[in-house]
Amino acid sequence: MRTQLTVLLAVLLAVSAIGPAAVTAGAATGTTVQESAAQCEYPLTISDATGENVTIESEPQSVVTLYPGDAQLAYSIGAEGKVVGMPVSKYTESLEAGDRTDITTDDGVTPVAEKIVSLNPDVVLAANIAMYNQDLLDTLENAGITVVVLDTANSFDDVRENVRVTGEVMGHCAGAEETIQWMNERLEVFENALENESKPLAYYASGPGGSTFGSKTFQHDVLTTAGLTNLAASTGQTSWVQMNTEVIVNEDPKWIIYPDKEQWTSPPMADSLQATTAMQEGNTVAVNDNAMSQPGPNVVYAIEEIVKQVHPEVYAEIEADLEAVDETYSDEGNSTSNESADDSSTENAIPGFSVPAATVALLAATGFVARRR
């Protein structure tokens, strides 16, 4: 099983992205919580995709975040003070893990059950990739550890929902709502500014061989919110897919967007795409790999990077508005949901881990999953 999981992770990493991306802690957590802000209530019961339920009897005081994206969610809502174990590697280097236990193998991604059990956490928060490691889930369950597995995020609405559920699970509902409000206000700035702008056709080159994302993905939401027309969606693609390069050339994208992985100094694509208008005119944008690939609050920064280059005049007009949103959600707040949080970090990253929706669908890893027999 361990060998199979290692191979699977290698495949998933080839079509996903894991990496650091900076964001101020205050921007991700929000302003001072008002009395009317959302409050968590316990016992909390969450239903899984099979109809089973998991109940969290009281507010967790110790949480293990199983994958880098789970650590992202905990930090983004101001709940890092409850995290006792997490992946500690290049994928979470900007989260300032401090003395938190690294619960992974040398690859910085694969969880080690024994390390997690030794921490005896109240809850383990897990991304949907945990569904591929049944041995790990069984070991944690047999040790009496509650595991909550989040749904894959196929849209901004799904990203918001994962933020909200993380808040409920970790007892930081107000912090989660503030993070969602911060996201919404930034998204509103982009949407209003770009409403009447042209939407040039863009191909997102997520990897060699024509790999890209269709309409039912949060990457599609990033592209369209940034004032682009997603080529994959316009040709009827709905999820992660490997498109025929001839189709891409015939569609002739005006822009090519690609993740800024270290090994790629130019878009990862077939030589034939050099004939497209995008390449002929030098219209390429290298967007932060983590921000574009991980389903968390940092998606708003991927949008900003694209708008800055594709719609520079619009960006010049809204830059001050974006800064104003960030100032509103400064690190002066999150007071009611963050009593035990580490406040030593003034700048955090939101690295994560995401599985393409098509891959997840093939393995039936859908829905909020909470394992307990």
Highest mean pLDDT among 159-163, 224-228, 368-372: 224-228
Residue 303 confidence (pLDDT) above 90: yes
Least reliable range by pLDDT among 50-64, 132-146, 169-183: 50-64
Q: Residue 255 — pLDDT band, cuts 50, 70, 90?
A: very high
Q: What is the pLDDT of residue 48?
A: 53
pLDDT at 4 over 60: no
**3-class DSSP state of 150:** coil
State mean pLDDT over 311-334.
Answer: 86
- pLDDT tens for 336-353 read 333 333 333 323 333 333
Task: Residue 307: name the closest of 281, 329, 287, 333 by CA.
Answer: 287
Q: What is the pTM of this model?
A: 0.79
Give pLDDT tens digits for 99-134.
Answer: 999 999 998 899 999 999 999 999 999 988 888 888
For residue 247, is pLDDT > 50?
yes
Token pair of 249 as six digits? 């050339």
Q: Where in the chain is the domain with CATH 3.40.50.1980?
A: 2-184+329-371, 198-294
Q: What is the pLDDT of residue 329?
A: 87
Could you tell me the pLDDT band of residue 293, with boundaries at 50, 70 and 90? confident
Q: How would residue 205 be classed by pLDDT, with cut points 50, 70 and 90?
A: very high
Please report where in the chains the tokens 């199983």 appear, as a residue. Answer: 66
Instruction: Give residue 6's Cα distance to chain centre.
Output: 22
Residue 20 pLDDT: 32
For 2-184+329-371, the fitting CATH number among 2.60.40.1930, 3.40.50.620, 3.40.710.10, 3.40.50.1980 is 3.40.50.1980
Q: Which helix (H) or strand (E) holds 289?
A: helix 289-293
> Which tokens sit at 68?
């880098």
Cα–Cα distances in angstroms (integers) from residue 49 to residues 55, 164, 285, 358, in the given order: 15, 18, 38, 17
> What proportion of the chain, given as a percentage, has pLDDT over 90?
61
Question: Is residue 351 within 8 Å of 68, Cβ to Cβ?
Answer: yes
Class of domain 198-294: alpha beta
* φ, ψ (nearest 5 deg) of residue 51: 95, -5
**Residue whose pair of structure tokens reads 């960030």 in the numeric block:** 326
